[in-house]
Amino acid sequence: MGERKDSSGGSGHGAMHANVPMPHSDPLIHQSSADDDYYARHSSSSATASSGYYSDHPTAASGDSSPFVMSPWHQSAPYPPYDPASADAAALPCTGLIGSLVREEGHIYSLAAIGDLLYTGSDSKNIRVWKNQKDFAGFKSGSGLVKAIVIAADRIFTGHQDGRIRAWRVSPKDATVHKRIGTLPRLKDVLRSSLNPSNYVEIRRNRSALWIRHSDAISCLSLNEEQGLLYSGSWDKTFKAWRISDSKCLESVVAHDDAVNSVVAAFDGLVFTGSADGTVKMWRREKQGKGTKHTLVQTLLKQEFAVNSLVVSPTAPIVYCGSSDGLVNFWEGEPHPTHGGVLRGHKMAVLCLSAAGSLLLSGSADKTICVWRRDGAAHTCLSVLSGHSSPVKCLAMETDAGSEENGGSYAAARWIVYSGSLDKSVKVWRVSEKAPLELEQSGAYRGSNSGGSSDGPEQAYGGAVGQEFEMPVEQLRAAA
């Protein structure tokens, strides 16, 4: 079933851990539980997970032509810890591991990065804050492992396995203190709605719940800051739209036949959802009085494999989908996206996606991260990042500040990538949009896996791996 299983991964920590100095002091964990006592007594959340991170079906990438085997950057050699303030763009490697963050607090399920801050969520129920790879602060939710984190202006929203969303704000007096400012839905809205029988919906036989509350774990969050909306997806098969200004639930949509694993607010008023039922659906948001209404426009994908992650390119109308068969499908164009092709780079389920600039990153249960570059409709696997000892569960990307401060020669072309894993670590990578000069000159990356959608995913991909990675393995490694 893909995303729904909260598996206990391996306990290893990767190659970098022994070289990274850990802080001697433990920042205070600030706990706030204003509404939790009430919710604990009245919760209907079951948070029941079903099985299946891993795909039992091999893909075309599992043979000798796999990018995992042939990538010139398939390595785990550590680089010195990264400090943007002292970075020298000319001396920094284009792509590679630059650090590892480890706290024995549990499996990492969620990440959010903004500037030099990184927020991490785990099954310890803690949200940890890192600054320049150092443990900076932390705060505790009280209940429910942290499945999703998004940042909106001065607020941080966290989605939890207990079915609730919590909102936090940094204290103006102390940047290390995060105060909880609310829980969605608000307690007063729950009490008011509970008085009206019409506000209850049936969630399973002989069991009902308020429509404004998720009745199972929250799996994903997405923001539409322009419209002031927060979207949440849940294992209860619904997604909900919340107005950020007053934390009011505007709408609840029964979207799928199984868990909603990903929701993404996208271009042109569209919202995309992906589910453990194997479908990707496209919804259009329309205003309805003071509220909002989402109408199903199209089902983009229907398959037997669970859809685990969706992401929309920030620079083009393209939506990507990662699923448990190890493939990344994508659709392009507006207002009606059409299938553009399939990216094959993993041996096991794709669990997470992230996009920035012309790059797409895919994290997998095979413990690797594929770095894809988009050139028009063509996609190329630039590198494969390895180092985690368990499935890669979440990804986040931020601009490499060091490249901008040193003459701008790499501005907007290099990124700092954070990867969270079930090995209980977060690894920090530097990734460039440029391919190695030797490979560009050799023409090793001429191919495209973006055939027309009319041929379907299998034909659209064609023999792209053979075209893109036509150099012998030894020659590729020598070029690196």
Task: Give residue-wise pLDDT tens across range 95-116.
Answer: 789 999 887 678 999 999 998 8
pLDDT digits (tens, 9 = 90+) for 180-221: 999 999 888 888 888 888 888 887 777 888 888 999 999 999
Q: Secondary structure of 261-287 in the HEC alphabet? A: EEEEECHHHEEEEEECCCEEEEEEEEE
- CA 311/CA 300 separation, integer angstroms: 14
- Could you give the strand order of the β-sheet that contains 378-386, starting from the edge strand earlier in sequence? 350-356, 359-364, 368-375, 378-386
Q: Output b/e per residue, 445-457; b: 16+ Cβ within 10 A.
A: bebbbbbebeeeb
pTM of the predicted model as reported, rounded to 2 decimal places: 0.74
What mean pLDDT comes out for the span 286-294? 83
pLDDT digits (tens, 9 = 90+) for 28-65: 334 444 455 444 444 443 333 333 333 333 333 333 33
What pLDDT is recorded for position 436? 55
pLDDT digits (tens, 9 = 90+) for 346-390: 999 999 999 999 999 999 999 999 999 999 879 999 999 999 999
Higher-scoring residue by pLDDT: 80, 216: 216
pLDDT digits (tens, 9 = 90+) for 436-479: 554 455 554 433 444 433 333 332 222 223 223 322 333 323 23
Angle at 127 between CA 124 and CA 128, to 5 degrees: 105
**What value does the mean pLDDT of the chain take?**
76
pLDDT digits (tens, 9 = 90+) for 133-180: 888 888 887 777 899 999 998 899 999 999 999 999 998 888 889 999
Q: CATH number of the domain at 2-479, out of 3.40.50.360, 2.60.120.10, 2.130.10.10, 1.10.10.1100?
A: 2.130.10.10
Angle at 119 between CA 115 and CA 120, to 5 degrees: 145
pLDDT digits (tens, 9 = 90+) for 326-340: 999 999 987 789 999
